[in-house]
């Protein structure tokens, strides 16, 4: 995918995403879906490393910002600066704040104001939207 932005991706890019991602990843990342709570192996990931967008590879979260929220989804209290963007999500008869990859505009999850300090935020991410890259040996 390179460094294309969401606006530059277009129809041909969507086909590339469809080829690269599993059908479930495509549903989540490109069609704003979600995975069932408690199903991601990343919920239990404790190693140091980086979490990347599964669609384009953009680094999103450092492992030291990950915590166990009890929500059933991988949760972080802060993204890497500039890695994500947020926008209002008024679907499902409620107001939430959607989190997207700043590079490819793929849907990652939502952010809520009930996280730990220092930010007080809970970035509740779909595990299938993330790839984990462990740090060194």
Catalytic residue numbers, as ranges: 124
CA distances to 10, 71, 97, 101, 106 from 91, rounded to whole Å, are 24, 20, 10, 19, 17
Beta bridge partners of 8: none
Cβ count near 69 (within 10 Å): 19
Cβ count near 30 (within 10 Å): 19
Residue 130's Cβ-count burial label (10 Å; 0-12, 13-18, 19+) is buried
**4, 14, 19: which is closest to 104 by C-alpha?**
4
**54, 80, 87: which is closest to 66 by C-alpha?**
80
């Amino acid at each position: 995918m390179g460094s294309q932005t969401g606006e530059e991706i277009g129809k041909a890019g969507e086909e590339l995403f469809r080829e690269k991602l599993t059908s479930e990843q495509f549903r989540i990342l490109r069609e704003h879906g979600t995975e069932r709570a408690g199903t991601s192996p990343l919920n239990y990931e404790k190693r140091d490393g980086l979490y990347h967008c599964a669609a384009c590879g953009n680094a999103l979260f450092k492992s030291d910002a990950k915590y166990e929220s009890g929500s059933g989804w991988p949760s972080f209290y802060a993204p890497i600066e500039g890695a994500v963007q947020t926008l209002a999500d008024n679907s499902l008869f409620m107001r939430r704040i959607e989190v997207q990859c700043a590079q490819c505009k793929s849907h990652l999850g939502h952010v809520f104001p009930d996280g730990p300090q220092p930010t007080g935020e809970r970035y509740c991410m779909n595990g299938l939207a993330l790839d984990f890259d462990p740090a060194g040996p």
